[in-house]
Structure 1
Amino acid sequence: MRLLQNNTRHNRNAEKSNFSSRYFKWILWFSLSFYFFGTFLITHNKPTTSISRSTFSQTKASRALIEESYPNSSLLQHAQNPQDILKRLKVYVYDLPSKYNTDWLSNERCSSHLFASEVAIHKILMNNNDVRTLDPWEADFFYVPVYVSCNFSTINGFPAIGHARSLISSAIQLVSSEFPFWNQSRGSDHVFVASHDFGSCFHTLEDVAVADGVPEFLRNSIILQTFGVKYKHPCQEVENVVIPPYVSPESVRTTLKKSPLNGRRDILAFFRGKMELHPKNVSGRFYSKRVRTQIWQKYGNDRRFYLRRQRYAGYQSEILRSTFCLCPLGWAPWSPRIVESVVLGCVPVIIADDIRLPFPSAVPWAEISLTVAEKDVARLGDILGHVAATNLTSIQRKLWDPNVRNALLFNDPMVEGDATWQIMVALSHKLDRSHKMARSFNQ
């Protein structure tokens, strides 16, 4: 990595050119502080809140400065005007040594499997001249590209992430020693990807993940992770954005060339994947909480259900023929089947209690999917039959909206509304974590 050699000159020029701006911002800060302090005293003869007057006025002033720098991106306008904020949002991508990322690409699975969003986001940002900045001094956020799900076990072929904590810790030590930005914000404006089972806990089994929790060195940062639940959980006790698991946009386009979304769907309910007849107790837990086993036992001989336990490379063509696609939990609640179902027009049947799904502001999950409680698996046949006879057409019409499909795919280059775009919108809601905003406030 190379630290910019002209930092001193850059700072002198910036100081000179920003003198007037700083003077104006101090006047703005003083005026706003005086105004809100006076308003607070007038309207609050007795204390009704624990927030201090100084914190109150600083918060308002900080917001005013954010709105000054990003005039179309007030906290109330983010959802309405994502294009405006993304025109100004800047992300600096650290140029880490290849051992942290690209060396792992020697295994081609690294950039194509369900955990590959860590690779895709890095590549997309590197190729995006609108969001990416080469000048770290103008960055709102800093992306730290460390691949932790590309180390495939030679024993079972699954990602082995035992090295994740040490690898990320090493990357943080590197950027904090060669650049000033981590130390300035204590990592609050630094972004990482944790695209495996239990996100930033970095373990494939929940009991170990929960015991270890989020590493201390990441607790102040922003984590893009596939794991998310609606209840309190140690593996999401960090600022996080739930992102979709990776599904290759190219594979989806290839499948859709063979048949349209609204083509013939001769399979009512589809599932292909691991379905253990006798699930093994691993660390006190059963795979899928035995849900997949119950599905097989109850519906394995039901002609309405197309259930297969073997791998098949062309399974996307089966999804395209199916009306409902079962998306039961595995070890973790999320599954790439949720994304594949949506982008191929099959109504996802989500069986994972209290799962938190990606990009709810862009994907109307309640309108395009079914949610079945884990305890109600035995009623699946009746539930799907009822929906097929009543409001299936309405669900499919909303499901087949191209904007919905687009929001869950990592296109390269990034296109408006796609998964990387949604991540940038989510980051725009976290500008108060950016040290760039703090610098503006203190100038």
Structure 2
Amino acid sequence: MASAAGLRSSRAVSESFSPAHPGSSRVGVGGGPGEDGGLFGNGDSTVAGAAGPRGRPMQQSIKPRPATTRQCVVGAVTITSFAILVARLAFSFIVLDDTVVDELGHLQYESLGSRLTLHEKGTNDSSSIALATTHGSWNPKFLQSGARPTRRSRTKPRIFARKAPRSLSGSSNCIKDGGIEDALGIVSQAYLSPQLFYEDFREMACKFKIFVYPQTRKDQYQNIFLPYEEMPTGNYASEHYFKMALMNSSFVTTDPSKADLFFMPFSIARMRTHPKIGVSGIKPFVREYVEGISRKYPYWNRTSGADHFYVNCHSIGRGATDEAPYIRYNAIQVVCSSSYYLQNYFPHKDATVPQIWPRSGFPKKAASIKQRKTLAFFAGAANSPLRAEVAKHWNNDSEIRVYTQRIDTPYSEALLSSKFCLHVKGFEVNTARLGDAMHYGCVPIIIAPYHDLPYNDVLDWKQFAVVVSNLDIPNLKKILKKIKPLEYAQMQSNVMQVRKHFEWHVPAQPFDAFYMVMYELWLRRHLVRFSLDDWANKL
């Protein structure tokens, strides 16, 4: 870019010293009218076609004369311009370690998630040639946004490297730009930054690649690693839905050099019921598995596992890495229980997946507010101090209905007839109540301190949920009654807009729970690496 700017400024200086008479046909730089200085003004030469006194062509011999100061300056500028031109042409053939440059003067690189794009003036080349960091070294990846560069000349510009594909539309994950209103809904208050999320999400859908460590069905532990063949059910279905969706998506690559992250597909939920593992065998199994892939493959050792991830949606999994603390400190954990009380959860590193019961279709009555006669609803065992506190204050209330035993109406009908639905921390924050409330259009009341809500990088939970401190449980009714009807209607409308993020589909659909978890992983693909040697030195 600097060379191009220098060339333009040199040309401007050169033109300011060029003859301006209409009758002059002299080529090069030299003196003004009446000064015939040759090419550099101090040589004995013959100028053909030079203008005579009346503008008629003439041919004459020019005697040597001392060079003037201005002529020397002009000559130096010309040499500099020529040198810059040669240097720029040479530079266009160079592919640096961390940049790619073509003849159009287009330069783009990506470093740790931050993108800088430079374009030469007059160029409208929007093709994206990005470079992603991989384990401390630059690994070129050539991508293209789909827009074609403007034609500056008849000759086709050459890229002196592997060419980018013409379009990313061939990838099944890519999302067509139908507008943010169609993608996220007319109501966008529920998002922290809807436009930024939308654009980054579309980029993720096209570019993100995952390498899954392979397993075969001949392996005696194959059901620990492979997805369910049947549709998963129960409280821990999210783990298996994620694995099913991932293995049937275009996010998976068989080329590790193209992978942004590496997936360790073991299932902690299945380990606990496996006859050869069981609850007591989970910790050694996880340790031996990581030791095995680190011996067989080079990828774990390059980063001490910082670009690896696994899914943990069972409470038993909170101690799964006790015998391998480097997994806990480095690998990304996709968890259903994102409690700060758990020693193996790190908010800056780990991602949260909502625990969701599989359901078919949205109920038609979910959007209705008139049918919601109950102020608030909760059903669940009083197996924690918080739930016991809720039951103590509201167990016999007519407006806030709390059931610690079996309820006398269908669970779905109770959710559809309630304005607010309580999500109260139990033994673990891994129940499906939050997803249930979203599914049935009920505004969640969250009483679960010190834990991360799902997608908190994207969603503004204050716009569609009520977060209540455990100290405010006695004042719960007053807090809810202060919410005006129009404010509640807006919150309930926001729930209807964001609930698509809390649904699993087979196959996966854009912006559903699977895609949102992938986006959470996308945001964590460039984490600071924790050195295994540094960890060992601290022991």
TM value normalised by structure 1: 0.68
1:227 Cα deviation from its structure 2 partner: 2.6
1:20-419 correspondence to structure 2 within 5 Å: 24-26=95-97, 28=99, 69=142, 80-96=199-215, 100=221, 102=223, 111-128=232-249, 130-150=250-270, 161-197=279-315, 200-202=318-320, 215-229=325-339, 234-237=343-346, 239-250=349-360, 253=361, 256=363, 259-262=365-368, 264-275=371-382, 287-288=383-384, 290-311=385-406, 314-387=410-483, 391-401=487-497, 404-419=498-513
Question: How far apart, in 1, do the equivalents of 2:197 and 2:489 lie?
Answer: 33
Matched to 1:256, the amino acid is: P
The residue type equivalent to 2:298 in the other structure is P
Cα distance in 2 for partners of 1:59, 1:108 equals: 36
CA distance in 2, matches of 1:200, 1:22: 54
Alpha-carbon displacement from aligned partner over 1:55-80 (angstroms, at most 9, x marks no partner): xxx999999957964566xxx97763
CA deviations on 1:100-123 (whole Å, 9 max, x unpaired) are: 562699999993222222211111
Sequence identity (%): 23
| 3-state SS in 2 of match to 1:307 | strand
Q: Does the CA-based 8 Å contact 2:263-2:309 persist in structure 1?
A: yes
Secondary structure of 2:283 counterpart? helix
Task: State the alpha-carbon separation in 1 of the partners of residues 132 and 501 from structure 2.
Answer: 33
Answer with 384-393 or 215-224: which moved more: 384-393
Asked whether the 8 Å contact 2:313–2:430 carries over to 1, the reply is no
Structure number having the greater helix percentage:
1
Q: Check conservation: 1:349, 1:370, Cα contact below 8 A.
A: yes
Q: Deviations over 1:217-258 (max 9, x none)?
A: 3422111112325x68632238211221132143xx2x615x
The C-alpha deviation readout for 1:370-424, integer Å capped at 9, x for no partner, is: 01111111111222222255621121121111xx111122322121111221222
Distance 1:219 1:92 in 2: 21
Cα pair distance change 1:63/1:145, threshold 3 Å? closer
Q: CA deviation at 1:352?
A: 1.1
Separation (CA, whole Å) in 2 of partners of 1:149 and 1:61: 32
CA distance in 2, matches of 1:232, 1:69: 43
Normalising by structure 2, what TM-score? 0.57
The structure showing larger relative contact order (alpha-carbon pairs under 8 Å, at least 6 residues apart) is: 1
Give the number of aligned pairs: 353
Amino acid aligned to 2:518: M
Distance, in Å, in 2 between the alignment partners of 1:65 and 1:116 is 38
**Alpha carbons of 1:414 and 1:202: their partners in 2 closer, same or farther (altered >3 Å)?**
same
User: 1:305 Cα shift?
Assistant: 2.2
Shift of 1:168: 1.9
Asked if the contact 1:100–1:146 (Cα under 8 Å) also holds between the matched residues in 2, the reply is no
Q: Secondary structure of the equivalent of 1:415?
A: coil
Letter in 1 for 2:419: T
- Structure 2 residue identity aligned to 1:294: E
Q: CA deviation at 1:299?
A: 1.5
Q: Is the 8 A contact 2:224 2:271 kept in 1?
A: no
Q: Does the Cα contact within 8 Å between 1:295 and 1:377 map onto a contact in 2?
A: yes
Say whether the 8 Å CA contact 1:368–1:396 is kept in structure 2. yes
